[in-house]
Amino acid sequence: MKAALASSLAYRPRLIVLDEPFTGLDPLVRDEFIEGLLGIAGGTTILISSHDIAEIETFASHIGYLDRGRIQFSEELTSLSARFREVEVTLDGEAMVPSNWLPQWLNPEASATLVRFVDSQFDDTSTPAGILRLFTGVRNVAMRPMPLRAILVTLAKAGRKTAA
């Protein structure tokens, strides 16, 4: 695998496309492969299609998301991570999902006095303001950053709901 990669890079391609390149590799070889790829590639763009999200998160600079054959977004990983938050709102009374729910708040769940959702357009000011606008008796709000895997699973679940 390393020899094939090295010989293909000898031509100094501007783009390398790899489909599931980590499948079947043990952790040591996987790390060596990634280090070698990043070390040799220089100014080359490397496009990797993979279901191994945890591995991708360790070195990717940009993430693209395809859903039903269409690209939904392509952005820097830091930007993507900054705009997604898992939110939990604890209320004094019974928790319900309001009818005027914001479209960027994905996968709402309500149980007892707790409402959970993912904010896909998180902002330090507008997210808390939106929560206070939609809910009465807010006792506590917890907003946590999400790993890439959780973001992509959230988007896949939200996509299934809109497709149904």
Q: Which amino acid is at 43?
A: G
pLDDT, tens only, 53-67? 887 888 888 898 888
φ, ψ for residue 61, nearest 5 deg: -100, -30
DSSP 107: E
Confidence at residue 124, expressed as pLDDT on a 0 to 100 scale: 94
**SS3 category, 129:** helix
Positions of CATH 3.30.70 in the chain: 81-163
Please say if the pLDDT value at position 10 is more than 60: yes
Task: Give, in words, the CATH class of 2-60.
Answer: alpha beta
More confident residue, 91 or 60: 91
Average pLDDT, the chain: 86
Task: Give, in words, the CATH class of 81-163.
Answer: alpha beta
Model pTM score? 0.80
Q: Measured between alpha carbons, how far is residue 119 from residues 62, 78, 140 in Å?
A: 20, 16, 16
Positions of CATH 3.40.50.300 in the chain: 2-60
Tokens of 75: 């952005």
Torsion of CA 133, 136, 141, 145, to 10 degrees: -40
